[in-house]
Structure 1
Amino acid sequence: MRASNKVFHLAIPCKDLDETVAFYEKLGCELARRYHDRATFNFFGDQLVCHLSPESIDLQPKMYPRHFGITFMERQEFEHTLNYAYERNLPFFHEPAIRFAGKQEEHETFFLIDPANNLLEFKYYYNINMVY
């Protein structure tokens, strides 16, 4: 398990810093700092750095295998985030769905897409033992 003195770090490409900052702030992520070539956010307690690199944008993104996101341990948090995304008119790549129905690893999921076509998955497992 991760100790509270550790923060996961993820770096992703972005095509426009203004669009990127607007999207992640609308999602509720706090902008930690911004430079001419990157923006760093508090992404649900972890560090997300969006590097300006328009040449690296995936023009035809697919959910699998490349995406990142949050697995909620409590259903209320998942539902709150889903409702928040709807209220803020955030762009969905894939509407809410159930994956692996009837199996131990059954979970709810939805995907958002940021301005640089990075895919963000938010999910909640009914069986908490299936998170890992």
Structure 2
Amino acid sequence: MSLAPFHLAIPVHDLGAARHFYAEVFGCAEGRSSEHWVDFDFFGHQLVIHQAPKMPHQEAAHSNPVDGHDVPVPHFGVVLDWDDWQRLAARLQAQNTEFVIEPHVRFQGQVGEQATLFLLDPCGNALEFKAFRDMSQLFAR
């Protein structure tokens, strides 16, 4: 199955800080933009940051427990292959990124074992990046 790129538009209350974050922290190429929004190539997907007032989830994130950690809700991100995830985690650590959940492997030895990390953008949007050693376990139960 070939995957189609997703389109996701998110609110940011500081367009300049968010623009810098997605371009510099992740190295995302910028596409079209206006004074109120910016398109990014987010790991092959279209992410659009839109200037908007601060949303309640950006003030104080809700969380749910997952494998001993409090996972922020809502969140979004990308499932990378294992080596790409390792490189991203190392890049983020080298930039002294403040993580919500540090890079680690969860569900060790179980179905769905995965590497994961969580961080916030400058506007409080939560992101998760994960990888599976065995991608066939992405939807395994």
* TM-score calculated relative to the size of structure 1: 0.87
Shift of 1:64: 4.2
Output the amino acid matched with 1:19: A
Gaps of 5+ in 1: none
Shift of 1:7: 2.5
Q: Which has the higher strand share?
A: 2
SS at match of 1:55: coil
Residues 48-104 of structure 1, C-alpha deviation per residue, up to 9 Å, x if partnerless?
01111123252112434411111112x211111111111223332210122222211
* TM-score calculated relative to the size of structure 2: 0.82
Q: For the Cα contact (< 8 Å) 2:72–2:126, is it kept in 1?
A: no
Structure with the bigger RCO (C-alpha within 8 Å, sep 6+) is 1
SS at match of 2:59: coil
Corresponding pairs, count:
129
Residues in 2 aligned to 1:8 and 1:60: alpha-carbon distance in whole angstroms = 26
Report which stretch shifted further, 42-51 or 99-108: 99-108
Q: For the Cα contact (< 8 Å) 2:104–2:117, is it kept in 1?
A: yes
Question: What's the RMSD between the two structures over aligned residues?
Answer: 1.7
Residues in 2 aligned to 1:25 and 1:14: alpha-carbon distance in whole angstroms = 14
Gaps of 5+ in 2: 64-70
Output the amino acid matched with 1:60: A
Matches within 5 A, 1:47-66: 47-56=46-55, 58-61=58-61, 62=63, 63-66=71-74
| Counterpart check, 1:69 vs 2:43 | no
